[in-house]
Amino acid sequence: MKKNKIWEIIVAIAIPLIVGGLSAFLTKDAMESFNELVQPPLSPPSFLFPIVWTILFVLMGIASYLIYKNNDVNVYKERKRALILYFIQLIFNFFWSLIFFNLQTFYFAFAWLLVLWILIILLMYNAKLVNKVSYYLLVPYIIWVTFAGYLNLAIAILN
């Protein structure tokens, strides 16, 4: 039983890491042109992004595991909704990078990010009903995506 639990945690963490890794791989060629753009105040150095995203993806994976493992019938609907929202927001997260970096359609990327932000808020709401720890694990994610929204909009305006 313990081996199965460890395997489930590994898979839960691997899913967002794979999504993020694939997104990073598909956008790596666009980084050079991105670095040439006018950057807004408070723009972090580019080496920081993969570090932050790796941490966020690990936290998201743990949160999804905690939601998945709650078999309480009283929160079945919220659990199901949270897991569906989790996977939908992962898809939106994946495509935001392609829209922003590869296509460089910054205003559309910002609109896409707003939808992602709403999905994360809905995920957090349902996660809190299922497992409060999972909710708190998602707080850094919503903070970072909010900051990313500022960066995205500022880059759209400045460029």
Q: Which CATH number do you get for residue 104?
A: 1.20.1260
- Cα atoms in the 13 Å half-sphere on the side-chain side of 20: 18
Residue 90 class from Cβ within 10 Å (0-12 exposed, 13-18 middle, 19+ buried)?
buried
Q: Model-level pTM?
A: 0.94
Phi, psi of 17 (to 5 degrees): -65, -40
pLDDT, one tens digit per residue, over 15-41 is 999 999 999 999 998 888 888 999 999
Q: How far apart are CA 59 and CA 141, in angstroms?
A: 8
The answer to whether 88 touches 119, Cβ cutoff 8 Å, is: yes
Query: What would the pLDDT profile of 122-153 be if each residue is shown by its tens digit?
Result: 999 999 999 999 999 999 999 999 999 999 99
Count of structural domains, the chain: 1
- Domain interval for residue 107: 2-158
